[in-house]
Amino acid sequence: MTASRRLLFALPAAALARPALAQSPWPQGPVRIIAPFPPGGSVDTISRLLQPHLSADLGVPVVIENRPGASGAIGTAALARAPADGNTWAMVFDTHAVNPALISTLGFDTKRDLVPVMLVGTAPMLITTHNSRPWRTLSEVIAAAKARPDTLTYGSIGNGSLAHLTMSLMQTAGDFRVVHVPYRGGGPMSAAAAAGELDMPMATNAGLGGQVNVTLRPLAQTGARRSALFPDLPTVAESGVPGIDALAWWAVIGRAGVPAPVVARFHAALTKALAVPEVRARLSGPLGVDVVGSSPEAFGTFLDAQMDTWTRVVRDHNIRPD
């Protein structure tokens, strides 16, 4: 057979192969979820809680990759640089809405390079103190802070974190001054809290690693309403500091350009994982997370509002990154 005849026979086969490749099922290999915080924190914990159920539903290994640093921006930048093939996603924390206003060298555009997939859940932050400290209420801590300005400490997962921004608002509203001690993620902050290194560790129940009502005494919660997990714990507003309504949140994002059917398939797998009774019980119980499981569109609207709110706080309080 001549070369020209071989080419004529090959062309139809190649033409048929291209649509087949375009319609090939996803996923065909391991799926990676970047957790942009260290092991032991809430982002890592929730990612690993969902991991086996996602793997079972998708039929491929799901790998959690910790890429900590810069309040989650380093891991998120890795997602922004990943191929838009649906094999890489990220579980982000509320710092995702703050980083664009806080870090001028992100290396990516949050709205252009990334897509919302799902708001997994929300939770109030808890203002706590170690059992070795004398305070029983937030108002007692504030009184001590007013008596000795800039001596009491509070801990957060980093500069620009929701705890940092919320305490900045609280100090203005309550007319007191405390010292911020930022850590590089929930794991290190939780360890420092357990060791009694901080006067006021401040994070979600999940971020405090099961220490609340064990080694840590809760003083107040930051939501507008009391959490069902802590019905007897007053809000910050109820404790005498008005205007505070701040919820931590966890969400899944993807790379811009991932085909819509792939995003929909991964969203469906996340929805199924969140419906598993043991997963919901763990999230709403010891982790203190109010499960949301939103649509991508609803999360996009939520994220826009969060970015607007916390950008104003960063600018008004002249907050700088680590």
User: What pLDDT shows up at residue 317?
Assistant: 87
The predicted-structure confidence for 50-85, as pLDDT tens digits, reads as follows: 999 999 999 999 999 999 988 899 999 999 999 999
User: Residue range 109-132: average pLDDT?
Assistant: 97
Instruction: Using a pLDDT cut of 90, give the percent of the chain over it.
Output: 75
Cα–Cα distances (Å) from 85 to 30, 64, 82, 254, 256, in that order, read 12, 17, 8, 10, 10
Instruction: Using a pLDDT cut of 70, give the percent of the chain over it.
Output: 92
For residues 260 and 199, give the distance between their C-alpha atoms in angstroms, rounded to a whole number: 47
Better pLDDT: 116 or 8: 116
Residue 8 has pLDDT above 70, yes or no: no
User: Residue range 291-320: average pLDDT?
Assistant: 94
CATH class belonging to 124-221: alpha beta
Residue 321 has pLDDT above 80, yes or no: no
In the chain the first and final C-alpha atoms are separated, in Å, by 70
Q: Are strands 31-35 and 62-66 parallel, antiparallel or unpaired?
A: parallel
Residue 101 has pLDDT above 80, yes or no: yes
| pLDDT winner (highest mean) among 133-142, 199-208, 277-286 | 133-142
Q: Which of 126-130, 144-148, 206-210, 217-221 has the lowest mean pLDDT?
A: 206-210
User: What pairs with residue 235 in β-bridges?
Assistant: 221
Better pLDDT: 16 or 231: 231
Residue 125 has pLDDT above 60, yes or no: yes
The predicted-structure confidence for 245-282, as pLDDT tens digits, reads as follows: 999 999 999 999 999 999 999 999 999 999 999 999 99
What average pLDDT does the structure give for the chain? 90
Q: Which two tokens stand for residue 25?
A: 């099922």
* Three-state DSSP class for residue 173: helix
| 30-122+248-316 and 124-221 in the same fold | yes
User: What pLDDT shows up at residue 24?
Assistant: 65
Q: Which two tokens stand for residue 17?
A: 């192969």
Residue 175 has pLDDT above 50, yes or no: yes
User: Residue range 7-17: average pLDDT?
Assistant: 41
The CATH T-level fold of domain 30-122+248-316 is D-Maltodextrin-Binding Protein; domain 2 (3.40.190)
Q: Where are the domains of the chain?
A: 30-122+248-316, 124-221
Cα–Cα distances (Å) from 25 to 22, 32, 86, 118, 267, in that order, read 9, 17, 11, 22, 15
Angle at 167 between CA 165 and CA 170, to 5 degrees: 115
